[in-house]
Amino acid sequence: MASKAFASGLKELRFLFCQTSEHSAATRNFLTRSYPAMKKANPSIPIMIREASGTEPTVYARFDFGKERKLPLKGLDDKAIEQQQETNNDLDTTYHNAMISIHSAKLDFTFSSRAAQENFNNVAEEWQDALQDLHMAIKRFREREAEKEAFITLQREMLGEIHEEMEKLKKKIADLESKEAKRK
């Protein structure tokens, strides 16, 4: 990492560590050895060093698109820190390229969307008209269904009345037949 350019999406590096503790010694050694080469290879990227008593050794990398990565450095020697940084730089380059592809696709969609917006509005109006027609058809269908239901209810009532009248007539016929049978 000391002589390599950082990932193109990297905007800032912040190294935090304790200025006196043993667990930050490797980070201090790494920065003492690598800072000049890192800065020379990446002159426009801020590399901030923050020393604070009792702080765990950590590096924060801020990228495009609001992404920030935290890498704990505790327990690593200065060579392992360099290897970790190189591995993360390769991953971050891949991530950055993917984000640029996504961003480009969004821009392409935006520009093509503007061209298609008028067509979309026309289709939307046609759908709106079709939806209104459908609502009217449903309303008419429900009205007809209500009329049919009322007619069916009326028919049932009439059939009930006819059935009652038939039962009365059957009873009268039975009474008449029994009277006729008694006369004979």
- Specify if 167 maps to a domain: no
Query: Residue 25 sits in which domain range?
Result: 1-158
- Specify if 169 maps to a domain: no
pLDDT recorded at residue 53: 92
- Specify if 97 maps to a domain: yes
Q: Give mean pLDDT, residues 104-131.
A: 70
Number of structural domains (the chain) is 1
How many other CB atoms sit within 10 Å of the CB of residue 61?
Answer: 22
Query: Could you read off the pLDDT of 76-91 as tens digits, one per residue?
Result: 776 767 766 666 665 5
Q: Residue 143 is encoded by which pair of tokens?
A: 């009205």
**Which CATH number does the domain housing residue 49 bear?**
3.40.30.10
Q: What does pLDDT average to over the chain?
A: 79
The alpha carbon of residue 95 and the mean position of all alpha carbons in its chain are separated, in whole angstroms, by 20
The residues near 115 (Cβ < 8 Å, ≥ 6 apart) are none
Query: Could you read off the pLDDT of 138-157 as tens digits, one per residue?
Result: 888 888 888 888 888 888 89
pTM of the predicted model, to two decimals?
0.47
- Specify if 180 maps to a domain: no
pLDDT recorded at residue 161: 92
Q: Give mean pLDDT, residues 57-73.
A: 82
What's the per-residue H, E or C state across the chain? CCCCCCCCCEEEEEEEECCCCHHHHHHHHHHHHHHHHHHHHCCCCCEEEEECCCCCCEEEEEEHHHCEEEEECCCCCHHHHHHHHHHHHHHHHHHHHHHHHHHHHHHHHHHHHHHHHHHHHHHHHHHHHHHHHHHHHHHHHHHHHHHHHHHHHHHHHHHHHHHHHHHHHHHHHHHHHHHHHHHC
Residue 1, pLDDT > 50, answer no
Residue 112 pLDDT grade (very low, low, confident, very high; cuts 50, 70, 90): low
- Specify if 144 maps to a domain: yes
pLDDT recorded at residue 100: 52
- Specify if 141 maps to a domain: yes
The one-letter amino acid code at 8 reads S
- Specify if 130 maps to a domain: yes
Query: Could you read off the pLDDT of 13-50 as tens digits, one per residue?
Result: 899 999 998 888 888 888 888 888 888 988 998 989 99
Query: Could you read off the pLDDT of 160-172 as tens digits, one per residue?
Result: 999 999 999 999 9
- Specify if 58 maps to a domain: yes
